[in-house]
Chains A and B, each alone.
Chain A
Amino acid sequence: MPNMSKRNEMPVQNPDVRNKNFEEVALGYTEEQAIDEAKRCLGCKNKPCTKGCPVQIDIPSFIQQVAEGNFAEAYKIITESSSLPAVCGRVCPQETQCECKCIRGIKGEPVAIGRLERFVADWHNAQPETPVEKPVLNGHKTAVIGSGPSGLACAGDLAKKGYDVTIFEALHIAGGVLSYGIPEFRLPKTIVQKEIDGLKALGVKIETNTVVGKTVSVDELMKEEGFESVFIGSGAGLPRFMNIKGENLSGVYSANEFLTRINLMKAYKSDSSTPVQTGKKAVIVGGGNVAMDAARCAKRMGADVYIVYRRTENELPARAEEVEHAKEEGIIFKFLTNPVEIKSDENGWVKSIVCQQMELSEPDASGRAKPVPVPDAFFEIETDSVIMSIGTSPNPLIKSTTNGLDTQKWGGIIADENGLTSKEGVYAGGDAVTGAATVILAMGAGKTAAAAMDEYMQNK
């Protein structure tokens, strides 16, 4: 009889061991644990959990199958709605989506939906590969820009419908943020590669080293290369900085650069040709998931790590689980702390970061309590590196080279609920439209756009 108030814990690497390696932190359920956890599901008729899922996975149905040990059937149900279950089972903020709607959560802990999704996807990936039947081509050609979560999802759905799909990727390998951003210990790159190989097996072509807006434009793809429609999933864009003194000193990184060096270029391996210099002490500025990733990477590179955040723990935008993991690994949080200057040594390297004490006042427009500086309350933290993780602003490359593509004042591409932009045949989704958000929302946007693109090309 499963424990109805408490969920099954998922085995994890010991914090003191894992904060020195880049192997995956969470180890996943065993079959017994998964079945036991699945039996906690009440199978609610009105499926509140599904309503909380951005792509409306039929959660009670797949969990029912897990409870009965029918893992293949469970996988089938999940993939009717999701393109990347092994990824989303790991990186989705379930606690604010499906799990927070779970009736079990009222009196005890909600069913561990994310862990079950991950279990089902990993179980599937461990099975011998069954040859994929390539869909019959329907004679329509379509392009996807960017191979992150939205692009992969869009390409997958279109390929399954018989479209001749080409993904254009600026970097030398596919995966977008799944490859360069999210660290190995949270999302092993073999899982990302598996998803990409799956698309290739469906007939999707991936052209790396192609910067749309530079190597080729959207207009050229449509007019000269015969792509009937284009999906833009180019991602969140350029890192933001605080515009404080000393931000361009040696040893100051954007989180994008720091994570790219480590994840994409493998700077954590001793034989990597791309270095990263964390030093003995690193300060990460920001409180989102990216900040947690950067902090936990810096810790694994051997540094003592501080996260400075201008609000309190209650306002941290990062997932609770990421914050918990970071704390367990020995990362020190300095709340109500806002950097005002970065100081250098005589060689132009970071020496310390000067911060001001903050306090919370009334909520601002975002609904979060607004941090205000405490007059004259400054203090200095000595450090060897500073990693700025305070968000991104859209990359203007595609907008500036595509005729008739409208963007918001802040630079995001304007798209309707189906992903259609102001330009006929051109769709967009993911962070390029919403600003930095989650993998699942991007994936959902890619799927929605794929359906709309299908309709558009069929009725053209």
Chain B
Amino acid sequence: MFEIVEKKSLNPTVTLMKINAPKVAKKCEPGQFIILRTDEEGERIPLTVADFDRENGTVTIIFQIVGATTEKLNHMNEGECLHDFVGPLGRATETDGLKKVAVVGGGVGCAIAYPVAKKLHELGVEVHSIVGFRNKDLVILEDEFKKASSKFVLMSDDGSAGEKGLVTDALKKLIESGEKYDRVITIGPLIMMKFVCQLTKQYEIPTVASMNPIMIDGTGMCGGCRLTVGGETKFACVDGPEFDGHLIDFDEAMARGAMYRPFERKAHEDTCNLFSQEVK
């Protein structure tokens, strides 16, 4: 069993948990993911590793409450145990030979972008972090990003935190001002990553996007996480989750990501109703 050793609310819809999982902690690297189940009947959900502590045997996950399982997960407390926790899965972020990188994160995707920025920073790579949120209440990991970056740009849709605008506006400005990146790494909503990749393609900057599709086993068996990259079918779980952003078919990925949305919405509502009944 995998104990929740720490739980922290980062904003009203995003929660951080440290999970006791020594085997996973021993092996995981930034860019990889885990799959968990909250209980015996639970669904398997993939979450990218946000941090890890090999010495204490813990793995940190950060999740946004979007559906029934994340709602249930958010109702679990320190001392309780997850039923299943498997990993690390997927390939780690490639960092070889990088000198200067722009890390572009959006929303809860910043939870995954942060360990990548941190690792690059530790390797001596010059890191510029550009992170975007809808508004100031949703900002997460600001201090952490600042520590891991030589330049940090915070953007918000409404201007309530940092500058008003999109991450692509900030990235474009930096590129136009003469910053030369050997790679852009982008992690966030599909629509954001799509536009980041469109932008960097114009400037011919190699770009990697971290994909988080629907998945069941996470080991290459089911093929549910497939996406089209450069005209070829790839499995995010074994070939990814990071891919060449200039080759990903984002429109297809968005359609596939929406496949279970009506089911998920209803399941989330049912779970919320269940919890509110318990409170009564």
Contacts and interface: CB of A to CB of B under 8 A. Distances in A.
- Interface majority SS (helix, strand, loop, mixed), chain A: loop
A136 to B, nearest CB: 30
A210 interface: yes
A456 interface: no
A253 B68 CA distance: 23
A215 B27 contact: yes
A273 B84 contact: no
Interface string A243-260: 100011111011011001
A12 interface: no
Interface stretch (A234-242, A298-306, A376-384): A234-242
A211 B219 contact: yes
B222 A257 contact: yes
Nearest to A172: B84
Contacts of B69: 273
A277 interface: yes
Given A211-B86, A250-B255, A273-B42, A260 B221 contact: yes
A273 B219 contact: no
A247 B233 contact: yes
Interface in A127-148: none
A66 to B, nearest CB: 38
Contacts of A271: 41
A170 B218 CA distance: 9
Given A172-B44, A215-B27, A257-B223, A397 B238 contact: yes
B87 A214 contact: yes
A273 B24 contact: no
A11 interface: no
B265 to A, nearest CB: 12
Contact of A209 (B86, B249, B260, B267): B86
Contact of A254 (B43, B223, B249): B223
Contacts of B216: 257, 260-261, 264-265, 274
Given A172-B84, A243-B233, A257 B224 contact: yes
B220 interface: yes
A239 B222 contact: yes
A237 B221 contact: yes
A211 B84 contact: no
B84 A209 contact: yes
A277 B252 contact: no
A216 interface: yes
Contacts of B88: 214-215
Interface in B210-256: 216-217, 219-224, 226-228, 233, 235, 238, 249, 252, 255-256
Contacts of A241: 223, 226, 233
A171 interface: yes
A395 B27 contact: no
Contacts of A247: 233
A260 B226 contact: no
B86 A238 contact: no
A349 B43 CA distance: 23
B123 interface: no
Given A215-B23, A243-B233, A265 B219 contact: no
B279 interface: no
B83 A172 contact: yes
Contacts, number: 117
Contacts of A349: 255
B227 A248 contact: yes
A239 B87 contact: no
Contacts of A216: 23, 27
Contacts of A257: 216, 222-224
B85 interface: yes
A211 B89 contact: yes
B260 to A, nearest CB: 6
Contacts of A348: 252, 255-256, 258
A249 B44 CA distance: 22
A170 B89 CA distance: 11
Interface string B155-168: 00000000000000
B4 to A, nearest CB: 16
Nearest to A207: B23
B219 A277 contact: no
Contact of B221 (A210, A251, A256, A277): A256
A55 B126 CA distance: 62
Interface in A249-288: 249-251, 253-254, 256-257, 260-261, 264-266, 271-275, 277
Contacts of A396: 238
Given A172-B37, A265-B43, A209 B85 contact: yes
Nearest to B89: A214
Interface in A181-227: 208-211, 214-216
Contact of A170 (B85, B86, B235, B258): B86
B224 A253 contact: yes
A260 B263 CA distance: 18
Nearest to B88: A214
B28 to A, nearest CB: 9
Given A214-B89, A215-B87, A274 B43 contact: yes
A353 B220 CA distance: 26
Contact of A260 (B23, B217, B260, B267): B217
A366 interface: no
Contact of B223 (A208, A256, A265, A274): A256
B11 to A, nearest CB: 25
A254 B41 CA distance: 23
A238 B224 CA distance: 11
Contacts of A264: 216
A239 B235 CA distance: 10
Of the listed residues B85, B227, B233, B259, the one surrounded by the most CB atoms of chain A closer than 10 A to its CB is: B259
Of the listed residues A171, A254, A266, the one surrounded by the most CB atoms of chain B closer than 10 A to its CB is: A171
Nearest to A347: B255
A238 B219 CA distance: 9
B89 A275 contact: no
Contacts of B41: 266, 271-273
Contacts of A214: 27, 87-89, 219
5 contacts: A180-B217, A214-B87, A215-B23, A215-B24, A249-B256
Given A248-B226, A254-B224, 20 more contacts: A172-B44, A172-B86, A209-B85, A211-B89, A214-B88, A214-B89, A215-B24, A215-B86, A238-B220, A238-B221, A239-B223, A250-B255, A256-B222, A260-B222, A273-B42, A277-B259, A347-B258, A348-B256, A348-B258, A395-B220
In the A-B complex, the 5 residue pairs with the smallest Cβ-Cβ separation, listed nearest first, are: A348-B255, A254-B223, A257-B222, A209-B86, A273-B43
